[in-house]
Amino acid sequence: MVPHWNIMECVVRVLFLLVAVIFFGQLATGAKNILYISSVASPSHFLWSQRLFERLAELGHNVTVVNLYKHGFVRGVQLVKLEGIVEELAAEEEDYVEFGQMSPFEVHVAFFDLELHVCQRAVKSAGFQSMLDYPKDFRFDLVIHDHLAGPCLLTLLSTFGYPPLIYASAYNRQSTLTTSLGTVVFPGFVPNQVYDVQHPMTFYQRTINHLLYFWEYFFKTYIYYPKLDSLIQREINQTESVTSLEKRSLLAILNSNQILDPPEPISPNIVQVGGLHIKPQKSLPSNLVRILDHSNKVVLFSLGSNVRSDQLDSQILNKLIEAMTALSTTTFLWKLESDLSQKLPPNVITSPWFPQSDLLAHPKLSLFITHGGLLSVQEAVWHGVPMLGMPIYGDQFGNVNQLVHKGVAKRLSLVDATSDQLVEAILEITTNASYRNNANRLSRMFRDRRESPLETAIWTIEWVLRNANDSHVWNQSPSNSGFLERYSLDVLLLSFAGLMATGFTALLKLLKVLTCTSGKSKKKLD
């Protein structure tokens, strides 16, 4: 009879060998070199990307991340920082509230100017130069790029022998991909991402929306991209246009989800992973647990990672504080970056940072006062929390409009709302059960998926790694078709010209018949 301990030893050895085979087999056949370019000047975009590249590293891939925020080797990821850019932008203290008062046409120009500014600094940075100094025979198996930063750093494609390229972005709108992936926009019923308009649009609004999409395309193609080409050629002596570089992209992974986003047909080369950044709930710090346990009602107030509450105009701050003071039985957790000169009431607790998603998951949290940033909105919807939206700039207006339309939020202007209106809105949302019920219903649908958003993104990336050599078979992007072809404007123009010619010919014949008839009548009278 075989001793029991011998059987257990054999089992342990077999299991050890099995794990070793799987692990080293993964390293031998599955580990790939991936270059991740995350150069959007927004901390939230970097955090979204971080969720993705850290998971890739956990699976054994070698990931190099070119970014604006971190440098070094962290959790199996090589971080290459394009130094000085975010520090310079922070020193300029951008007034985002004033930015939000611009017309949507001006907003597009401002965003393109920001991308150009970042590019000017990026290509001169030591971090970028370190990428150019890689061994000439080094190759990446895949490049992942957050396209919202613009195509400036796609110049690295030529440095590494043009590896396969895909996009992955914390943004959710495919209209930003018209020049690269050939996605089609629908101005008749999909508002431009910076156009503050409700659905459905009026005829006038649809007219402005068409002009806005055209302006975005025209400015990008004929003004912004030529400036980028000139800059890149001057600084690093590369002559290939950014237009041709961005058209190398095979597909895009977007932080979108049709439960939350405007109704929009999705191109087959778009993979939707809305909510990818949301992590499993963690325990809250003990100080926050005590606050929540001893509070009747708790409201979280945050304006995101770009807008600093402590730099708001004093009039705005005063009315916010006045409203919080009036609601003395409600506890407010306010993300406030530094102390204010104004005195705060005892029911207001401030901190430069809160574990936002974990707080939103707590059952005591009654309301989220938010700027309407996409990542914040998705976290609140995931956890079924109603919102008071106070959008400031960019796509935040459209995000909040969607929430209002779905019955999970109210909207107020951060600039124009009075303290009384703030109090009224907070009371309505926290006492009217329909907001919480609608939020729970939306949460259920938002969570209901075949697999997690992160798993979808990872599977897509590894599918491209396995099949990139056959991209000529599966990649059928219409990006090489022109603007006229993509929207069949040439066909419509020809059809219109044909109709006009037919109508004109028919009119001439009618006039000729009438002239002949009139002539015969005159002869008979004579």
User: What pLDDT is recorded for position 502?
Assistant: 92
Q: Among all chains, which residue has been given the structure tokens 């992955």?
A: 168
User: What pLDDT is recorded for position 481?
Assistant: 63
Distances, alpha carbon 148 to alpha carbons 51, 153, 220, 454, 471, in Å: 17, 12, 12, 20, 24
378: left (phi over 0), alpha (psi -120 to 50) or beta: alpha
Q: How many CA atoms lie within 13 A of 443 on its CB side?
A: 19
Q: Mean pLDDT, to the nearest integer, of 342-354? A: 95
User: What pLDDT is recorded for position 494?
Assistant: 84
Which residues, other chains included, contact 70 with Cβ-Cβ below 8 Å and sequence gap of 6+?
46, 79, 81
User: What pLDDT is recorded for position 22?
Assistant: 39
Q: Mean pLDDT, to the nearest integer, of 210-216? A: 95
Asked if residues 252 and 269 have their Cβ atoms less than 8 Å apart, the reply is yes
Number of C-beta neighbours around residue 438 at 10 A: 17
> Would you say residue 358 has pLDDT above 90?
yes
User: What pLDDT is recorded for position 13?
Assistant: 44
pLDDT in tens, 229-265: 999 999 999 889 999 999 999 999 999 999 999 888 8
Instruction: Check if CATH label 3.40.630.30 holds for domain 31-277+454-476.
Output: no
Q: What does the alpha-carbon distance between residue 70 and residue 271 come to, in Å, rounded to a whole number?
A: 27
**Residues 456, 462, 467: CA angle, nearest 5 degrees:** 120
Q: Mean pLDDT, to the nearest integer, of 26-52? A: 87
Q: What does the alpha-carbon distance between residue 97 and residue 393 come to, in Å, rounded to a whole number?
A: 7
How far the first Cα of the chain sits from its last, in Å, is 135
Which tokens is 326 given?
């009036």
Distances, alpha carbon 133 to alpha carbons 127, 154, 286, 517, in Å: 10, 16, 48, 86
Distances, alpha carbon 481 to alpha carbons 6, 216, 264, 476, 478, in Å: 69, 18, 21, 11, 6
> Would you say residue 148 has pLDDT above 50?
yes
Q: Mean pLDDT, to the nearest integer, of 31-58? A: 96
Alpha helices in 154-202 (DSSP H): 156-159
Per DSSP bridges, beta strands 77-81 and 72-74 are: antiparallel
User: pLDDT-derived band of residue 512, with 50, 70 and 90 as boundaries?
Assistant: confident
User: What pLDDT is recorded for position 482?
Assistant: 65
> Would you say residue 1 has pLDDT above 70?
no
Asked if residues 213 and 185 have their Cβ atoms less than 8 Å apart, the reply is yes
User: pLDDT-derived band of residue 19, with 50, 70 and 90 as boundaries?
Assistant: very low
Least confident of 41-55, 177-191, 314-328, 329-343: 177-191
Average pLDDT, the chain: 90
Per DSSP bridges, beta strands 297-302 and 270-272 are: unpaired
Q: Mean pLDDT, to the nearest integer, of 378-400? A: 97
User: What pLDDT is recorded for position 262?
Assistant: 87
User: pLDDT-derived band of residue 518, with 50, 70 and 90 as boundaries?
Assistant: low
Give phi and psi for 450, each to the nearest 5: -65, -35
Q: What percent of the chain has pLDDT over 70?
A: 90
Q: Which helix (H) or strand (E) holds 272?
A: strand 270-272
The CATH superfamily holding the domain 286-431 is Glycogen Phosphorylase B; (3.40.50.2000)
Q: Among all chains, which residue has been given the structure tokens 């705060």?
A: 344
Q: What does the alpha-carbon distance between residue 149 and residue 463 come to, in Å, rounded to a whole number?
A: 25
Q: Mean pLDDT, to the nearest integer, of 418-441? A: 98
Q: Which helix (H) or strand (E) holds 377?
A: helix 374-382
Helix (H, G, I), strand (E, B) or coil at 268: coil
What is the residue extent of each domain of the chain? 1-29, 31-277+454-476, 286-431, 480-508
User: What pLDDT is recorded for position 466?
Assistant: 95
Q: What does the alpha-carbon distance between residue 207 and residue 255 come to, in Å, rounded to a whole number?
A: 28
User: pLDDT-derived band of residue 18, with 50, 70 and 90 as boundaries?
Assistant: very low
> Would you say residue 429 has pLDDT above 70?
yes
User: What pLDDT is recorded for position 491?
Assistant: 84
Q: Mean pLDDT, to the nearest integer, of 37-54? A: 96
User: What pLDDT is recorded for position 16?
Assistant: 39
Helix (H, G, I), strand (E, B) or coil at 370: strand
> Would you say residue 24 has pLDDT above 60?
no
User: pLDDT-derived band of residue 21, with 50, 70 and 90 as boundaries?
Assistant: very low
Which tokens is 80 given?
């290459």
User: What pLDDT is recorded for position 523?
Assistant: 57
pLDDT in tens, 451-506: 999 999 999 999 999 998 877 666 666 656 666 676 677 788 888 899 999 999 99
> Would you say residue 322 has pLDDT above 90?
yes
Q: What does the alpha-carbon distance between residue 368 and residue 381 come to, in Å, rounded to a whole number?
A: 10
Among 367, 376, 380, 377, smallest CA distance to 323 is for 367
Kindly list the strands in the beta sheet with 387-389, ordered across the sheet, starting from the edge strand earlier in the chain.
Answer: 348-351, 330-335, 297-302, 365-370, 387-389, 409-411
Helix (H, G, I), strand (E, B) or coil at 78: strand
User: What pLDDT is recorded for position 524?
Assistant: 58
pLDDT in tens, 279-288: 999 999 999 9
Q: What does the alpha-carbon distance between residue 369 and residue 383 come to, in Å, rounded to a whole number?
A: 14
Beta-bridge partner residues of 72? 79
Which tokens is 257 given?
């989800």
**What's at 223, amino acid-wise?**
I
User: What pLDDT is recorded for position 525?
Assistant: 52
> Would you say residue 63 has pLDDT above 70?
yes
Q: Mean pLDDT, to the nearest integer, of 192-202? A: 92
Helix pair 374-382, 43-58: axis angle to 10 deg: 60
> Would you say residue 94 has pLDDT above 60?
yes
Asked if residues 187 and 167 have their Cβ atoms less than 8 Å apart, the reply is no
User: What pLDDT is recorded for position 263?
Assistant: 86
